[in-house]
Amino acid sequence: MKIVDNYFGCNIFSKHEMEKYLPHSVYKTMVKVMEDGDELPSDIADVVANAMKDWAMDKGATHYTHWFQPMTGITAEKHDAFINPSGPDTVISDFRGKELIKGEPDASSFPSGGLRATFEARGYTAWDPTSYAFVKDRTLYIPTLFCSYDGSALDKKTPLLRSIDALNASAVRLLHLMGYDTKKITVTVGPEQEYFLIDEKMYKQRLDLIVTGRTLFGDSPVKGQELDDHYFGNIDERVKAYMEEVDEELWKLGVFAKTEHKEVAPCQFELAPVFTSVNIANDQNQLTMEVLQRCASHHGLVCLLHEKPFEGINGSGKHDNWSISTDDGENLLEPGDSPQDNIRFLTILAAIIKGVDEYQDLLRLSVASAGNDHRLGADEAPPAIISIYLGEELTSILQAISEEREYVDHSDRRLELGVSALPQIARDSTDRNRTSPFAFTGNKFEFRMLGSNLNISCPNTILNTIVAEELDQFASELECYPKEMVNEALIGIIKRTLKEHNRIIFSGNGYSEEWKEEAKRRGLLDLKTSADALVHYTDPKNLALFSKHNVYQPHELHARENILLKTYYQVIVIEAKTMIYMLQKEILPAVFAYEAKLAQIIQTKKSSGIVAPMEEKILKQINSPLEIVSQHVEKLEELLEHNPADDKTAARYAADELLPLMNAIRALTDTIESKVSKSEWPLPDYNDILFKSF
């Protein structure tokens, strides 16, 4: 058995490794670059590059790559060898500062949403020294940002880093006004990752899983998750071996994979890491998804990261646990021990409440995708309506504050609204409400709407920016008061905010129909599909927000909106085509064959003077839906011939025309499946996949 301490983080160019490979003064400078965001002095780039190369070659690396996260959401890389020719037949290994700092991948095929004219198709990658370089598959991976020639962000990471700066500036400004000498804040994130594991042989027999990541057909299995017997159950040997390999790979890459357990649905699992700073958490989550998928194939398994691989069975999400901490390690979402710290806590909380209420549209669209639409609001994941859950105690405290009345807690302590008398607020993390999309869990918020597949940078960029905006507004108000009135002013701000934004707080059952009604009464948004949500990217208030905080310029937002709308449409078109292919090539021929068999039996029986009522009944039960399926398929083919004029129209077309027809086709086909003989059905069915995978 290997001892984890001996290899944890061995494949990252960590501070520990930097200290070994860099001259001391350069090491010190690098730490300042990483921790304080200082610029990298140009004269040390060559030294760092050389040390990084030596370290990577000692780990067996022969190549390096700038690793980036284009707007497709997945990671991209292009490998170059370290060696350069040094004479006609000789080479030397070489890696210069300029190669470390900047790259020019021939990346003209990545979506840019019009940010790059075709004549300037080149994109540039720029080293992000705040995330760790690492070695994987004999290659040195250098985390980079991906921009166009004029600096527009072509990736998901650049806006995230900009949003961290924005939140840092606003938070530090406000904290200074409150009398704290905080120099810097860090956004911390721990993304819990859900996934399905299924047998590779069955996977390979289903084109829908291979091409679209989800099953487009499939009658319900005999058993779903109703007994809850999979949740936290014993882990199967094959899966255990897989998880051990995943852990080892992740630990080598410095990812603190910590908790692994079975989730509610059959074949579903979760991996939770220990939280870290958001940009590292983002890179590590991308690596985690990659490792989960790669290791599966070593065990004859496939890891499905689609948000809804199986209809009628829970989909997979990713809980984004988010908080802010100060440079001396204090968590700003931790209720404090002193009244003063509690005012700080309540102020940050008020800012979050206001931000979530004012920018519900942005939070919703930050998780929008064709796949995730199947989850949200499907009685398993949070609804598409944004609300905040605060737990019983905190809700009562806030209510008392906003109604200007006394709060008496369980231990009979009174909360007077005088400044010095705010009570200790107990951590209330036992109080859980799984149906809430945005829940306070004691010392952090848990944003639960993310799909399992999502790159976490977008939701975190949005969270950081909206909180930055609200803290900034509070700070501007506070500046008008003399120092001795700051606390009083803050209490006023907290009270007013709670009164004005109380509608976003909801503790009840988010799955219920009553909540949908209630939310409508409260005027909360219910953006059901991505086509409804994504168009809000470029609402004037949102353009203004992101410009003000230098997170996205308007043209960058227009580009994102276009790319995401187009992707949504394309995903649905691909699903529709896959559906038609599977029906015409696999399912319909099998059903015809089975019908022919039935007809044959009926005829044989009849010619011998025997009635065949059962066979006739089944034949009818298959044939009636079959006729409608064939009409629908014809209609779907027709619909696919239409070319919508622009990305917005295309997304609407997919949501309003294609999807409803596809859903109808699926429902009918699933009924047919329930009547056709197992030996005749051409695909592994839900019972096979979910109960015979291992």
Residue from 14, 205, 277, 331 binding ligand ADP (CB under 6 A): 331
Compute the half-sphere exposure of residue 190: CA atoms within 13 Å on the CB side of its CA: 17
Pairing of strands 63-68, 139-147: parallel
Task: Give the torsion sign (CA, 226, 319, 255, 371).
Answer: positive
Cα–Cα distance for residue pair 358/427, rounded to 1 Å: 27
Chain residues 427-486 in contact with ligand ADP, contact rule CB under 6 A:
443-444, 446
Q: Pick what 123 binds: Mg ion, ligand ADP, none; C-beta below 5 to 8 Å, kind-dependent.
A: none
In terms of Cβ atoms closer than 10 Å to its own Cβ (0-12, 13-18, 19+), residue 600 is exposed
Contact status: 389 vs ligand ADP (CB under 6 A): no
CB of 506 to ligand ADP, least distance (A): 19
Pairing of strands 438-440, 388-389: parallel
- Cβ proximity to ligand ADP, 192 vs 685, nearer residue: 192
Please give the distance of CA 679 from its chain centroid, rounded to a whole number. Answer: 39
- Cβ proximity to ligand ADP, 190 vs 309, nearer residue: 190
- Cβ proximity to ligand ADP, 460 vs 669, nearer residue: 460
Contact status: 323 vs ligand ADP (CB under 6 A): yes
Residue from 17, 99, 192, 247 binding ligand ADP (CB under 6 A): 192
Residue from 272, 305, 462, 471 binding ligand ADP (CB under 6 A): 272
Contact status: 189 vs ligand ADP (CB under 6 A): yes
- Cβ proximity to ligand ADP, 152 vs 452, nearer residue: 452
Query: Which candidate, 302, 446, 366, 336, places its Cα nearest to that of 159?
Result: 366
Q: Say which residues have a Cβ less than 8 Å from residue 316's Cβ, sequence separation at least 6.
A: 194, 195, 196, 263, 268, 304, 305, 306, 307, 308, 309, 375, 451, 452
- Cβ proximity to ligand ADP, 259 vs 476, nearer residue: 259
Q: Pick what 342 binds: ligand ADP, Mg ion, none; C-beta below 5 to 8 Å, kind-dependent.
A: none
CB of 442 to ligand ADP, least distance (A): 8
Q: What is the DSSP string of 83-132?
A: EEE-SSS-EEE---HHHHHEE----TTS--TTSS-GGG---EEEE-TTS-
Cα–Cα distance for residue pair 401/415, rounded to 1 Å: 9
Contact status: 321 vs ligand ADP (CB under 6 A): yes
By beta carbon distance, the residue nearest Mg ion is 319
Contact status: 277 vs ligand ADP (CB under 6 A): no
Contact in structure between 584 and 633 (CB atoms under 8 Å): yes
CB of 297 to ligand ADP, least distance (A): 26
By beta carbon distance, the residue nearest ligand ADP is 190
Coil, helix or strand at residue 360: helix
CB of 510 to Mg ion, least distance (A): 15
- Cβ proximity to ligand ADP, 139 vs 168, nearer residue: 168
CB of 174 to ligand ADP, least distance (A): 19
- Cβ proximity to ligand ADP, 189 vs 655, nearer residue: 189
- Cβ proximity to ligand ADP, 190 vs 377, nearer residue: 190
The CA distances from residue 288 to 62, 193, 272, 428, in Å, are 23, 9, 10, 30
- Cβ proximity to ligand ADP, 49 vs 185, nearer residue: 185
Number of residues that bind ligand ADP (CB under 6 A): 17
Residue 116 structure tokens: 């790059």
Contact status: 263 vs ligand ADP (CB under 6 A): no
Query: Can you give the binding site for Mg ion, defined by CB under 5 A?
Result: 192, 319
Cα–Cα distance for residue pair 82/92, rounded to 1 Å: 8
Contact status: 319 vs ligand ADP (CB under 6 A): yes
Contact in structure between 333 and 324 (CB atoms under 8 Å): yes
CB of 449 to Mg ion, least distance (A): 12
Site residues for ligand ADP per CB under 6 A: 188-190, 192, 259, 272-275, 319, 321-323, 331, 443-444, 446
